[in-house]
Amino acid sequence: MSFDNLLPVFIVMSSLVPGVMIFFLREGSHRIRTLLNLLGAFLKLLLVGIMIWGVFHERVYETQFLIAPGLEFRLHADALSVLFVTLSTVLWMVTTIYAIGYLENSPHRSRFFGFFSLCVTATVGLALAGNLFTFLIFYEVLTLVTYPLVAHRGTPEAIRGARIYLTYTLVGGAVLLFGIIWLKSLVGTVAFVQGGILGAVDPALYPQLKIIFLLLMIGLGVKAAIVPLHGWLPKAMVAPAPVSALLHAVAVVKAGAFGIIRVVYDVYGVEFAHELGLLIALGIAASITIIYGSLRALSQDNLKKRLAYSTISQVSYIALGASILGPVATIGGVVHLVHQGIMKITLFFAAGNYAETLGVHKISEMDGIGKRMPGTTLAFTMGALGMIGVPPVAGFITKWYLGVGALNAGVGQWILPVLLLSSLLNAAYFLPILYRAWFKESQGAWPDERIPAGGLETHGALLWPPIITAIMALAVGLLAAAPYSPLEWVQLIAYREYGQ
């Protein structure tokens, strides 16, 4: 096999091998564990860089073999998979640095970082999956390896949250499996093909294909936290901050959203899905989720829970973009894979810093926190403004393309009010936090302040990751038209999908 055939496998293995090795390290092997994590992250970044160059120049990177008659394991790189793999790789590296600082002197670090690496392995594997069968394998592995991360603290609340998460996602995976088997029995293949695989299907199968689409959306919608399948996500906030950041920005919810994009564009085909009337149903579900998540966020005093309901709302922008026929809306939805990830990981890093350094978990405790932790709060501010859609931060680009795409598709009369209301609600639950942080005086001693060494506001490994991702959130908006920016890359995806 050539290097091009093996490159997808190498990218998957670059986090799998370090993850397995870490399980066998003693708790005191801090330097070796850190070295393995960072070497794996740097190697993956290098390999992904090679893949980006090759996919842009239309090289084919593919690994495939038969597991059983009719069941093909296939890893394949295209522009969409490279986008998600790059996001996962870059944010894994940043989150690894953050987690090293966050878990310093904590128990069970080898177990944590082992499953942490396996989580990224599963995410990259499903991103590179070349068919629904391969996608399902990594989708279910992702469920299993994130369960110990959610339950990491071992408290009754953590165990309960992890069990709720596992119940939701396993049921969702079973529904997804049923839908894939049914689809394969009808059309004989479940490969991801540009434009979809159902263009020439017998019209007599249309009723069954509609039901299968619903099953696939339910299975994927659990991880994407589409209402009413979202109940696990707020409960999973008992996890440590690095896990919350990973769940919301890179792994679980993003895996569901990525799967929705794959089914709409590369299984059904967006035009065929539109012909069957499936996109309108997806758009309505996404719109309800966007508004519902924002409304629930308003009433949350716990900072991580407010961010969790914000995720429920924000991730559905991706599904909303997939539900609108046309290249402009596609750009808006797909680019939000990246934009939401960068902004949300910034917010969770900052929330973790407040909790770890000052013992602050509630918004009502955040008065004057900007003066005590200016770097962290500036990063949080950038992420929040991006979520609201304030230019030139990344979130503005998403909402602009979704709005213009809706107008071009003739559905602006209901999409634009959803976007406007969502932005107003985003402002309603983020701006009071910023006001408390920057303009109110602190109420006295912090709940559990820990004075860091070195004169910084917090441990350096906790401070720099949110600052870096906040700069990224600003940069991908400010430099959206630059070569190889996320927006430019997504325009390439839309061009190859629509040919325009």
Do residue 304 and residue 246 come from a single domain?
no
Give the C-alpha distances (Å, rounded to integers) separating 170 from 136, 139, 260. 12, 10, 17
Do residue 269 and residue 391 come from a single domain?
no
- Three-state DSSP state, 277: coil
Do residue 78 and residue 180 come from a single domain?
yes
Q: How many CB atoms lie within 10 A of CB 136?
A: 21
Do residue 270 and residue 311 come from a single domain?
no
What is the spatial distance between Cα 330 and Cα 239, in angstroms, rounded to a whole number?
Answer: 33
- 294: in domain: no
What is the spatial distance between Cα 240 and Cα 488, in angstroms, rounded to a whole number?
Answer: 34
What is 297-324 written as a DSSP string?
HHT--BHHHHHHHHHHHHHHHHHHHHTS
- 290: in domain: no
Q: Which of 25, 19, 18, 28 is nearest to 107 (CA)?
A: 28
- 287: in domain: no
- Three-state DSSP state, 26: coil
Q: What is the pLDDT of residue 499?
A: 60
Do residue 106 and residue 217 come from a single domain?
yes
Of 241, 276, 311, which one is at a domain's C-terminal end? Answer: 276
Do residue 226 and residue 366 come from a single domain?
no
Q: What is the pLDDT of residue 392?
A: 92
What is the spatial distance between Cα 340 and Cα 23, in angstroms, rounded to a whole number?
Answer: 31
Give the C-alpha distances (Å, rounded to integers) separating 387 from 289, 314, 364. 16, 8, 21
Dihedral of CA atoms 234, 238, 240, 244 in degrees, nearest 10, equals -10
Domain of residue 329 covers 299-500
Extract the tokens encoding 48. Answer: 């992904």
Q: How many CB atoms lie within 10 A of CB 28?
A: 10
Q: Which of 97, 102, 93, 53 is nearest to 77 (CA)?
A: 53
Please list, residue by residue across 71-96, b when 16 or more beta carbons sit within 10 angstroms of its beta carbon and e when fewer do. ebbbbbbbbbbbbbbbbbbbbbbbbb
- 142: in domain: yes
Q: What is the pLDDT of residue 248?
A: 75
Do residue 347 and residue 443 come from a single domain?
yes
Cis peptide before 391 (omega within 30 of 0): no
Residues of the chain short of pLDDT 70, as ranges, are 453-454, 498-500
- 362: in domain: yes
Of 223, 243, 276, which one is at a domain's C-terminal end? Answer: 276
Do residue 3 and residue 85 come from a single domain?
yes
- 281: in domain: no
Give the C-alpha distances (Å, rounded to integers) separating 439 from 45, 169, 375, 435, 448. 40, 41, 16, 5, 22
- Residue type for position 167: T
Report yes or no: 456 and 373 within 8 Å, Cβ to Cβ: no
The residues, ordered by sequence, that sit 6+ positions from 460 with a Cβ below 8 Å of its Cβ are 101, 454
Which sign does the torsion angle of CA 407, 422, 232, 99 carry? positive
What is 96-113 written as a DSSP string?
HHHHHHHTTT-S-HHHHH
Do residue 456 and residue 487 come from a single domain?
yes
Q: What is the pLDDT of residue 453?
A: 67
Do residue 260 and residue 356 come from a single domain?
no
- 284: in domain: no
Do residue 335 and residue 460 come from a single domain?
yes
- Residue type for position 444: G
Please list, residue by residue across 1-26, b when 16 or more beta carbons sit within 10 angstroms of its beta carbon and e when fewer do. eeebeebbbbbbbbbbbbbebbeebe
Bridge partners (DSSP) listed for residue 62: 76
Per DSSP (E only), the strands in 225-367 are none
The structural domain count of the chain equals: 2
Q: What is the pLDDT of residue 384?
A: 97
Give the C-alpha distances (Å, rounded to integers) separating 291 from 207, 223, 310, 363. 30, 18, 10, 21
- Three-state DSSP state, 65: strand
What pTM does this model have?
A: 0.95
Q: What is the pLDDT of residue 112?
A: 87
Do residue 270 and residue 312 come from a single domain?
no
Q: Is 70 exposed, middle or buried (0-12, 13-18, 19+ CB in 10 A)?
A: exposed
Q: What percent of the chain has pLDDT over 70?
A: 99
Residue 258 half-sphere exposure toward CB, CA atoms < 13 A? 34
- 123: in domain: yes
